Structure 1
Amino acid sequence: MAATLYLVMAMRRPDFDPAAVQPHIAFLDELRAAGQLQLTGGFSDGSGGAYVLCNVDSLEQARAIVARDPLVTLQSSDLTVHEWTTR
């Protein structure tokens, strides 16, 4: 059975504030504890990172979760959410 996941791409803005990193990690820890985070990591070139949401009902719910990410609320990165169906 296919599972729907949500790939979140986070690309740092030119004015990226490193102070956003710790609150972002705490946010991801909360998602992991809630069973909604499958995988996370940064890009080796330092341009940003990505994470995969799971156990989320819809693209709209995934976008609402991502809107709470400190990278968004602190305007340090541009985040996009992609529905991702695995096989």
Structure 2
Amino acid sequence: MARNNRTVVPESRAMIKQMQYEIAAEFGLYGSGYGGGADTEFASELGALGSSGRMGSSPYLGHLTSRDNGSVGGEITKRLVKQAEQSLFS
């Protein structure tokens, strides 16, 4: 079965990526090498730091389980649905 994972609005990619790092930081999923328990104020910096500390490349997050990653994705979905409902009913 073919999968269709293309982004409908390509401009939203950066916003989704930012939300991903913010939620992961809220959940405390970054280990001591990534500022463990970092607060969301610095989530964008976590997302911008590469595994060697350089800006631009994604950090290595191989220590995260599928369950952890799924919980972040589920939370992103919940928040996007909530935002859409608020915009429809406002």
Taking CA–CA contacts closer than 8 Å with sequence separation of 6 or more, which of the two structures ends up with the larger relative contact order?
A: 1
TM-score (norm 2): 0.34
Structure number with higher strand proportion: 1
Bigger radius of gyration among the two: 2
Instruction: Calculate the TM-score normalised by the size of structure 1.
Output: 0.35
Higher relative helix content: 2
